[in-house]
Amino acid sequence: MITAKSRFNTLVRSSPYLMMALLVLPVMGGLIAVVLPAFGWFPVLGHTQFNVSGFVDLWQTPGIGYMALLSVSTSFISTLLAFVITILILGSYFTSPWLGYIQRLLGPILVIPHAAAAIAIGFLITPSGMFSRLVSPWLSGWDSPPDWLFPHDAMGLSIILGLTLKELPFLLLMALGVLAQPELGHTLRAQHRVALSLGYCPMTAFFKVVLPSLYPFLRLPILAVLAYASASVEIPLILGPNSPPTLAVAIMQWFHDVDLSLRIKASAGAIVQIALTLFLLLGWWLAEKLIKKLSQSMLVNGKREYAGAIMQNITHVITVMMLTIIGLALLGMVLWSFAGFWAYPDLLPQTFVGQHWQSALQQMHTPLLDTLLIGGCATGLAIVLTLLTLESEQHTSKTTSRLTSVIIYLPLLIPSIAFLFGLVWVLEQVNSHHTFINVVLAHLLFVLPYVFLSLASSYRRLDPRFSYVAASLGASQAKIFWQIKLPMLLAPIFIAAALGLAISFSQYLPTLLAGGGRINTITTEAVTLANGASRRTSAVYALVQMLLPALGFLIAWALPKMLLTHRE
């Protein structure tokens, strides 16, 4: 009994270090393997002297300034839009059952892989897309698709639309996750009610009472979203311009170019990409400080109403627009997956056939199994590590240091395009024969932060009095962990697991690179086909990609309820 107890304590104490190692070593190793070639050290091509010719090449690339500007502007604007819409929705529907409905409607968007979402949105806004078909020919007079520049517009408006639609559900879900914590959520809702009873309009009450307490919990998710958007590849590749593209897309193309000496330029580009991302994060942080300072007096000036009704109406319009876009995009994907020939400007396909599903499903079982296995392993590992790390935090009764919490989010804050190519080289040195393990480890880099993000606050906010009572009754720490904390945290654990699975399911670059292409998941198949010529086949894969994580969330929602009723 004593050995079992001490074994648990040892495990708990060592887990934070294991977690740090699993996060820091791959990222740092990958970065070093990119920094060296960036400064000219690339022995394969016989370059063994340090210089800055890669950066000089980069500087001389035509349109390089535009590439950087496009990356910065699209990611900043889309993150700002997603954040503003998130708080508008929260503010407008804070006390309304609609908040739950919107969450349920937007939830599935979170788990659609970026590539699939981009294709679905692309279908809406292309000249032959759903919007154009809706108004043709009766209103527009178009018998054949107009020759307009959407998507791929030079300003990146299509990228902004795609990124915003993908980021919004994530931020909203994170905010609702915070509000779902029994203690905090209850307090905030109670404070909101008090504000209402003091005559504040609901919107003002939200902004003055709830938001200041809520924002600190949203800061890291927002920064992660911003960092991701600044270096994401799939959406700008499919919806963005290509003359020139965003910096991240250009870097990927240089890395993949047959001219191997371009790797040096690509590595230099990766370093610049990191600098851009850091610049964006810093910019957001400064803007946040500024707004906080400026709005301090507004918080306590006692004013009850700031055109709340108008804002609420604007929110209604935005929400309806967002849901319409998403609804039409989903409808479009379903229609494509069953479509016979579908001529312009017909609103519906001429015939509906099942052959696209049939032939896709025949080829799908191996990738499907791999997707589930990798997702399951990465998520399981992430949950165990997170729980043990959080438990160790409570044993030593100090919260993780600032450095540690930055390290946890390292893979989310450093653009993956910057370290993944190096990581492949590192994996090649260490363990080149167990591709499956490599892929799981690469997925873990991205799954772990999200799982930690989603579990940490619930765990830390668990009322310590339960543990005190149990301990005073003689329960060991292991027993408290297993029999008190875990059952109380069942719902957040399942949500975190579903989130982890969804993140794992949607990984493209890590699967492709760490797996050496040997391991195909539904996502790698979908992206390969998305670059292909058939909207119909990629619609089938995109829908399967959506169904998988949706199933995960359904289980995460239903299972704790069943287990808890069983316990009672």
Partner 1 sequence: MFPSKICNIKKHIVAAMALGVSVYACLWTSVAYAQTNELAAWEEIEARGVNQDVYFHAWGGDPQINRYIQWVAEQVKQQYQITLHHVKLTDTGEAVSRVLAEKSASNHQNGKVDLVWINGENFAAMAKHQLLAPNWVTQLPNFALTDPDNNPAMGRDFGVPTQGMEAPWGKAALTFYYDSLLTQTPPQTLQQLSLWAKQHPGRFSYPKPPDFLAMSFLKYALIALNNSQPDTIKNRLYQPASAQSQALLLPPLWQYLDDLHPNLWRKGQHFMSSGLALRRLMGDGELALAFTFSAAEVPAAVARFDLPDSTRSYRMRDGSLSNIHFVAMTYNAAHPNSAKLVVNFLLSPKAQAKKQQASVWGDTSVIALSQLPAAQQAWFSPPAESHPSANIVNQDSSPALSEPHPSWTNVLAAQWLLRYGVMR
Task: Please give the structure tokens belonging to residue 394.
Answer: 């409570």
Task: State which residue, 98 or 131, has the beta carbon closest to partner 1.
Answer: 131
User: Closest separation between CB of residue 417 and partner 1, Å?
Assistant: 14
CA proximity to 230, closest of 246, 212, 206, 251: 246
Among 228, 204, 218, which residue's Cα sits nearest to residue 86? 218
210 vs 529 by CB, closer to partner 1: 529
Closest CB 429 distance from partner 1, rounded Å: 6
DSSP bridge partners of 42 = 47
The residues that touch partner 1, with contacts defined as CB under 8 A, are: 43-44, 62-63, 66, 126-128, 144-145, 147, 149, 152, 154, 237, 241-244, 255-260, 263, 339-344, 351, 353, 355-356, 359-360, 363, 424-425, 428-429, 432-433, 435, 512, 516-518, 520, 524-525, 527-529, 531-537
In whole angstroms, the minimum distance from the beta carbon of 151 to partner 1 comes to 9
519 within 8 A of 511, measured Cβ to Cβ:
yes
3-state SS of 438-472 is HHHHHHHHHHHHHHHHHHHHHHHCCCHHHHHHHHH
Residue closer to partner 1 by CB (options 54, 241) is 241
Q: Which residue has the tokens 């991240």?
A: 248
Smallest gap from Cβ 537 to partner 1, in A, equals 6
**Smallest separation, CB 169 to partner 1 (Å):** 27
Closest approach, Cβ 238 to partner 1, in A, equals: 9
The least distance separating partner 1 from the CB of residue 108, rounded to whole angstroms, comes to 25
Q: Please state the closest distance from residue 81 (CB atom) to partner 1, in A.
A: 24
Query: What is the rounded distance in angstroms from the CA atom of residue 19 to the CA atom of residue 408?
Result: 8
Toward partner 1, which CB reaches closer, 96 or 355?
A: 355
The nearer residue to partner 1, 226 or 440, going by C-beta atoms, is: 440
If the CB atoms of residues 208 and 536 are measured against partner 1, the closer one turns out to be 536
**41 forms bridges with which residues in the sheet?**
48
- Single-letter code of the amino acid located at 388: L
Q: How many CB atoms lie within 10 A of CB 217?
A: 18
CB of 433 or CB of 465, closer to partner 1: 433
Residue closer to partner 1, measured from CB, 358 or 405: 358
Nearer to partner 1, 2 or 44 (CB): 44
Q: What percent helix, strand, coil does the chain show, rounded to 5?
A: 80, 0, 20
In whole angstroms, the minimum distance from the beta carbon of 129 to partner 1 comes to 8
Nearer CB in complex with partner 1: 126/457: 126
- What stretch of H or E contains 48? strand 47-48
What minimum distance in Å lies between the beta carbon of 528 and partner 1?
Answer: 5
User: Of 42 and 55, which CB lies nearer to partner 1 in the complex structure?
Assistant: 42
Say if residue 323 is exposed, middle or buried (CB neighbours under 10 Å; 0-12, 13-18, 19+). Answer: middle
CA distance 498 to 553: 5
Give, as one character, the DSSP assignment of residue 245.
Answer: -
Minimum distance from residue 548 beta carbon to partner 1 (Å): 19
**Nearest distance, CB of residue 297 and partner 1, angstroms:** 46
Distance CA 410, CA 449 (A): 8
DSSP state letters, 69-123: HHHHHHHHHHHHHHHHHHHHHHHHTTTSTHHHHHHHHHHHHHHS-HHHHHHHHHH
* 3-state secondary structure (DSSP) of residue 23: helix
Which residue is listed with tokens 């020759």?
Answer: 147
Report the alpha-carbon angle 329-234-157, nearest 5: 65
Smallest CA-to-CA distance from 159 within 222, 117, 128, 220 is with 117
> Cα(111)–Cα(558) distance, rounded to whole angstroms?
18
CB of 353 to partner 1, least distance (A): 7
Q: Which residue lies nearer to partner 1 by CB, 128 or 467?
A: 128
Question: Element (H or E) spanning 205, and its range?
Answer: helix 202-205
Of 268 and 382, nearer to partner 1 (C-beta) is 268
Locate 434 and state its tokens.
């167990």
With respect to partner 1, which residue has the nearer C-beta, 194 or 430?
430
Q: Which of 111, 550, 532 is nearest to 356 (CA)?
A: 532
Residue 166, both tokens: 């993908």
**How many DSSP H helices and E strands does the chain contain?**
26, 2
Instruction: Please state the closest distance from residue 446 (CB atom) to partner 1, in A.
Output: 20
Distance CA 71, CA 269 (A): 13
